[in-house]
Structure 1
């Protein structure tokens, strides 16, 4: 007996701009699956419970001739991002029906894992040396929180955003009590965790976002100075509340220029993301005009990818963060969109300037248990 298996498919490369739901990214109901009889070939069958729209998904939709830090998404296949799934059947040792797993998974309700159809043709010999094989990341079993916190926390503070924040802050910031950090996109899933990690270390935190509701959220997280960059110029805030010892960059462009201008000598600039550039062409990118200050102030500018720092720092993350979340010492918020059919619109919203109006990590609720 076949069961409907809806999915969200990458239909057309968008060039520049935000992917248009129904054109570049399409919800389909045409596929079905035999849940009892589909061959597992030594793998396991999962049901998708939640999915995470992420800015990096847009980066993977770029033209095939454009190199980047990630491998390309594959036309005609479901989108792939971080998700929470539950195991229905299994032929794989160590994975049993009822297990919950978190990691990269396709945007469809049912999947035979490990998923290989959407893997890009990645040849390390041909790719730039800064390209990371995104598809190499695998699903990992996660423990049932048993009411200590909702499953959706695995998409924010306990998932890829939290791990990214932890690895970047602990691996690159060299933070000391009394220093000042500026966190751009501070209400995002990554930025919100950075704010809390910085406050726990005794730092003064300046944070920005693109909506007044997000400003209130950042204040609730402990930010000493929180502001809406759309209504208050960044340079005015940094001039008054800086100089900076650390800058955490999630956006790129003019924000980096302002941070350089108001950094102390020997400040650290941690480059985590660049959402201002993901949906535009090279000719539209903002050219930073004060790079000469990098050597004059002896600034340390460091980019990172969490998977490269994770072998050293993930054991600490998984040992420390769930306890802090369960105790309420580290908090998070998720913005839930119900229904896989609303996935294309939810992904597009993540890429708009300032992101979603609602504070918290966007999560798509696909199904319940």
Structure 2
């Protein structure tokens, strides 16, 4: 028997950040018989990488609260994005040695497809997206000229989010100005580079001087630390803006509304400024009336909205651009599944100076 450590969702999170051991718990007691565990027409995978994502925080809520995605089940293994390699297979089209990326259980070994921990989507309103439906897909080029960790950053959901939202909503043009909040994040990293590839002027914000320099290295024309310079003052000096990519909300969104041109395009991708704040303490917009007065196109979206239209394009263009040196990525590697819970919390804590998309290394091969 082989040890099969995993992360268990222990308790719903109200306001604030999840607490390791209270809301997410590492469990190293399970065992698995790799040679004889029944596959039941599926396949046995070994987890290599895990990708902490902001959407995981939303899934830690009370399931009675409506949202864009389904909630985790208390007592079940946490699911999220990961990269696995196939050890045994009874599934047609899936071969031993195949690398696959997508939603998987956060444990060392899994009989796929994972069914026992799936949420009951019938409990949720129509239009709620079942995150667990983002099934594992073959990695297009596992031997490409870039590390596998890129599949948790620029070739994974952060890069895909930035790409499809930029193509579907921002549709940037040469000579335009875009403001990107949380520009040093995995998603912001992609948006800055795509905007520069289109000839746009890029204003980008982050919460530390180290991150400001990182955004500058990506090509941002006006990177700034919002803790030292206000959103309003920077946009007043360097705007008005044609487009806004928002990962933050709150003051960033308010300032963008104030300094937007008529018919500006806003891609609302995240609300990091209020995600861990009790509802009664959340920032309230002062400039919402400008959405109508300036005819602003404000579009809240999630990745699946644009997958049918842009997934093929992403898989074709982005690896090529990486190979040509036109797109770059930085990952923060965290060794060991036992540190995955803390990696989730650290990823959600915007007050740190660490640069790079967090990637948990579960196994080398």
Consecutive unaligned residues of structure 2, counting only runs of 5 or more, are none
Q: Deviations over 1:203-235 (max 9, x none)?
A: 000011112111111111100010111222111
- How far apart, CA to CA, are the structure 2 residues paired with 1:277 and 1:85? 33
- 2:111 aligns with 112
Kept after mapping to 2: 8 A contact 1:184/1:207: yes
- How far apart, CA to CA, are the structure 2 residues paired with 1:147 and 1:292? 49
Q: Deviations over 1:18-39 (max 9, x none)?
A: 0001111111111010000000
- 2:360 aligns with 364
Task: Determine whether 1:305 maps to 2:294.
Answer: no
- How far apart, CA to CA, are the structure 1 residues paired with 2:173 and 2:7? 45
Consecutive unaligned residues of structure 1, counting only runs of 5 or more, are none
| TM-score with structure 2 setting the length | 0.98
Q: Secondary structure in 2 aligned to 1:89? A: strand
- How far apart, CA to CA, are the structure 2 residues paired with 1:55 and 1:187? 14
Q: Secondary structure in 2 aligned to 1:21? A: coil
- How far apart, CA to CA, are the structure 1 residues paired with 2:80 and 2:272? 17
- 2:102 aligns with 103
- How far apart, CA to CA, are the structure 2 residues paired with 1:66 and 1:267? 32
One of 123, 126, 130 as aligned partner of 1:129: 126
- 1:274 aligns with 271
- How far apart, CA to CA, are the structure 2 residues paired with 1:130 and 1:242? 36
- 1:159 aligns with 156
Q: How many aligned residue pairs are there?
A: 365
Kept after mapping to 2: 8 A contact 1:343/1:364: yes
RMSD: 1.1
| TM-score with structure 1 setting the length | 0.97
Kept after mapping to 2: 8 A contact 1:254/1:286: yes
Kept after mapping to 2: 8 A contact 1:100/1:144: no
Q: Secondary structure in 1 aligned to 2:287? A: coil
Q: How does 1:306-325 map onto structure 2 within 5 Å?
A: 306-325=303-322
- 1:212 aligns with 209
Give the superposition deviation at 1:296: 1.2
Kept after mapping to 1: 8 A contact 2:63/2:70: no
Q: Deviations over 1:276-297 (max 9, x none)?
A: 2222232222110111111111
Give the superposition deviation at 1:144: 4.0
- 2:32 aligns with 33
Give the superposition deviation at 1:147: 5.3
Kept after mapping to 1: 8 A contact 2:99/2:142: no
Q: How does 1:153-232 map onto structure 2 within 5 Å?
A: 153-232=150-229
Kept after mapping to 1: 8 A contact 2:63/2:72: no
Give the superposition deviation at 1:357: 2.2
- How far apart, CA to CA, are the structure 2 residues paired with 1:243 and 1:198? 16
Q: Secondary structure in 2 aligned to 1:77? A: coil
Kept after mapping to 2: 8 A contact 1:6/1:108: yes
Q: Deviations over 1:22-79 (max 9, x none)?
A: 1111111110100000000000000100101111101001112210000011111121
Give the superposition deviation at 1:367: 0.8
- How far apart, CA to CA, are the structure 2 residues paired with 1:146 and 1:317? 18
Give the superposition deviation at 1:188: 0.6
- How far apart, CA to CA, are the structure 2 residues paired with 1:211 and 1:339? 28
